[in-house]
Amino acid sequence: MPLLSVIVPVYNESATIREIISSIQGLDIDKEIIVINDGSSDGTEKILHEIQGRSLKIIHHSTNRGKGAAFLTGLANASGEFLIIQDADLEYDPQDYYRLIKGIESGRWDMVLGARFLEGHHGLFIHRVGNKLLSGLLNLIFRSHLNDYATCYKLARRAVFDNLNLSATGFDIDVEIVCNALKRKLRLLEVPVSYNPRTYREGKKIRWKHGLWAVFYMFKYRFHD
């Protein structure tokens, strides 16, 4: 059983998928990489067929089902003791796994989050403000103290993810994971991670409407059993 399962949901990331997998493969960590091609139509599937590597699993969805659905497919196929989510767009650096693993291996925490704002952040202004407002709202309704609720990096034992009863199929999987963890009073640690946000021209998929949906889902997961 590997120490870490890295789940990589992928949708139309032909420009970056080869590099992100190579970066993960280069880490000195006992791991498996599970890539879920979520119905890509831009040549990502062809590139994935060309990539080789030990402990690399590639799973294809015939249609685009959403980030959450891709993550749940990866979770069902993971065998590692710990599990982490990795976006395929190069905004997050896999070198930060070492920081997250150090935090979780202390045994004091149930889940470690890679916070983008603890050591400064130079991303798009509207995203910085939006994340601060949304994190503040989540902290208000859950009485928590998170700096960056929307981070991609969430590291925990696989059993922890299994016990969160996750069902979200879209981008709201990130909201559901954190909300369900807070509802269960899990011990959450935030550690600083690097962040290199891409622009809309470079293919960034998050829009203002996702912020509105995030508010909806925060209340949904807060008060829904």
In whole angstroms, give the CA distance from residue 150 to residue 110.
18
Mean of per-residue pLDDT scores for the chain: 90
Q: pLDDT at position 124, please?
A: 56
- pLDDT of 131 reads 79
pLDDT at 52: 87
Q: Which CATH number fits domain 4-223: 3.40.190.10, 3.60.9.10, 3.90.550.10, 3.90.79.10?
A: 3.90.550.10
Q: Which amino acid is at 77?
A: N
- Helix, strand or coil, per DSSP, at residue 83: strand
- Say if residue 106's pLDDT is above 70: yes
In the prediction, which pLDDT does 213 show?
Answer: 82
User: Which parts of the chain fold into alpha helices (H)?
Assistant: 17-25, 44-50, 67-76, 97-105, 125-142, 158-162, 173-183, 208-223
* Domain residue limits, the chain: 4-223
Reading phi first (left if > 0) and then psi (alpha if -120 to 50, else beta), residue 53 is in: left
Q: Which of 10-19, 47-56, 203-212 has the lowest mean pLDDT?
A: 203-212
pLDDT at residue 10, rounded to an integer: 98
- Give the residue carrying structure tokens 């309704």: 141
Q: What pLDDT is attached to residue 119? A: 64
d(CA 187, CA 164): 14
Question: Could you give the C-alpha distances from 114 to 47, 50, 97, 103, 205, in angstroms and in order?
Answer: 29, 31, 9, 10, 20
Predicted local confidence at residue 197, as pLDDT: 79
| pLDDT of 205 higher than 90 | no
Is-contact 173 164, C-beta < 8 A? no
Q: Residues 149-192: pLDDT tens digits?
A: 889 999 999 999 999 999 999 999 999 999 999 999 999 999 99
Q: Rounded to 5 degrees, what are φ and ψ at 146? A: -85, 145
Over range 77-106, report the average pLDDT.
95
- Give the pLDDT of residue 23: 97
Question: Cβ distance 51 to 121 under 8 Å?
Answer: no
Phi/psi for 180 (5° steps) reads: -65, -35
